[in-house]
Amino acid sequence: MAVLHHPAREQIRLVDVLYALGHPIRFSIVRALASGQETSCGAIDIPAPKSTLTTHWRVLRESGVIRQRPEGRKLYLTLRRDDLDARFPGLLDLVLSEEHEPTAAADRELVP
């Protein structure tokens, strides 16, 4: 398995974290990891193809939101809460406390 890139704490940028959290599938993955327990990729129940999930895990990892740890043929995910809290105090708590409706913005009509 290839070496997985994880940015160091001081390399995590707010714009990358916000981008990663802005997608409904990635946000669902982060919510699933919010308990702090390490979870295998296959244990997160997200109705999407494996190739799609792989892309979302990569975005979350490269933005510094999650850490992926390979073990045998499995990858284990953890939320980088300590790193995110150190870089952006309160951000993760605020984001996770919000009710998230992924289709609300898409369904909203613009009123002139």
Residue 1: per-residue pLDDT: 56
Return mean pLDDT, the chain. 87
Rounded Cα gap, residues 96 and 88, in angstroms: 14
Residue 109 has pLDDT above 50, yes or no: no
* φ and ψ at residue 83, rounded to 5 degrees: -65, -45
Topology of domain 10-97, per CATH? Answer: Arc Repressor Mutant, subunit A (1.10.10)
**Higher-confidence residue: 100 or 25?**
25
- Let me know: does 24 contact 100? Beta carbons within 8 Å: yes
| Helix boundaries (H) for the chain | 14-21, 24-33, 50-63, 81-87, 91-97, 104-107
Residue 82: per-residue pLDDT: 96
